Chains A and B, each alone.
Chain A
Amino acid sequence: AQSVTQLDSQVPVFEEAPVELRCNYSSSVSVYLFWYVQYPNQGLQLLLKYLSGSTLVKGINGFEAEFNKSQTSFHLRKPSVHISDTAEYFCAVTPGAAGNKLTFGGGTRVLVKP
């Protein structure tokens, strides 16, 4: 079984400042890792994914994440946030194929302040 821990439930940040959202996972097998964003009253949108290859993954909207196998982490970063980045962010993992059942973290609410 897998588990995902998002260490920060809320992250307030000023506009144009950098942000990092932490994600750690545990699994007895290799996993694929994802970050999704959820805007109010909407579904989830895929920001980026790590399947294999380079451990630094670039996604949409200027986000990137780095897979660290030894630390079992997949932290999400953005060098300069916008007001529109205010949303809930979910880290998720799945073993086997990328379309398999996901295990989600508890989510991190990012509030960007002007």
Chain B
Amino acid sequence: GAVVSQHPSRVICKSGTSVKIECRSLDFQATTMFWYRQFPKQSLMLMATSNEGSKATYEQGVEKDKFLINHASLTLSTLTVTSAHPEDSSFYICSAAGRGNQPQHFGDGTRLSIL
């Protein structure tokens, strides 16, 4: 089945650091990738949608300059949390969808902890 790899699985870093999270589709071409944020014991909150070669579309309330998304190829999207602060600590999950009427496939998530 479709596999989406997300890396790293866990990051602990100091306040002010920028952190990059990678999301790769391993066995299919992901025309669309999605980035979610999940707070403890809550549902997923969509942050942005990215299409290969285009600028990401951000959801209302999500800071574009804070959360930089790049979808440079059909198999890779990256989320960079710039100048991270403790309030950015969360579980970030990516998903990818290919062509045709196929559902999204999710990565295993990245737990980001900012000290």
Instruction: Say if A and B assemble together.
Output: yes
User: Could you list which residues of chain A lie within 8 angstroms of chain B, going by C-beta atoms?
Assistant: 32, 34, 36, 41-46, 49, 51, 90, 97-102, 104-107, 109
CA distance A46 to B105 in the complex (A): 7
Q: Is B54 an interface residue (CB 8 A)?
A: no
Whether B43 contacts A99 by the Cβ 8 Å rule is no
User: Which applies to chain A's interface (DSSP): helix, strand, loop or mixed?
Assistant: loop
Whether B103 contacts A46 by the Cβ 8 Å rule is yes
Cβ of B41: which chain A residues have Cβ within 8 Å of it?
109
CA distance A103 to B44 in the complex (A): 9
CA distance A49 to B1 in the complex (A): 15
- Nearest to A96 among chain B residues (CB) is B101
Looking at B101, B105, B107, which has the most chain A CB atoms within 10 Å of its CB?
Answer: B101
Q: How far is the CB of B40 from chain A (nearest CB, A)?
A: 11
Whether B111 contacts A41 by the Cβ 8 Å rule is yes
- Nearest to B109 among chain A residues (CB) is A43
Whether B97 contacts A99 by the Cβ 8 Å rule is yes
Q: How far is the CB of B103 from chain A (nearest CB, A)?
A: 5
- Nearest to B31 among chain A residues (CB) is A99
Q: Knowing that A32-B103, A102-B104, A107-B43 are A-B contacts, what are 11 other residue pairs whose CB atoms are under 8 Å apart, sorted by A's residue number?
A: A43-B4, A98-B101, A98-B103, A99-B97, A99-B100, A99-B101, A99-B103, A104-B43, A105-B43, A107-B42, A109-B41
Whether A43 contacts B108 by the Cβ 8 Å rule is yes
CA distance A89 to B44 in the complex (A): 12
- Nearest to A42 among chain B residues (CB) is B108
A-B contact pairs, 10 of them (CB 8 A): A41-B109, A43-B6, A43-B106, A45-B106, A46-B103, A99-B97, A99-B100, A99-B103, A101-B49, A102-B46
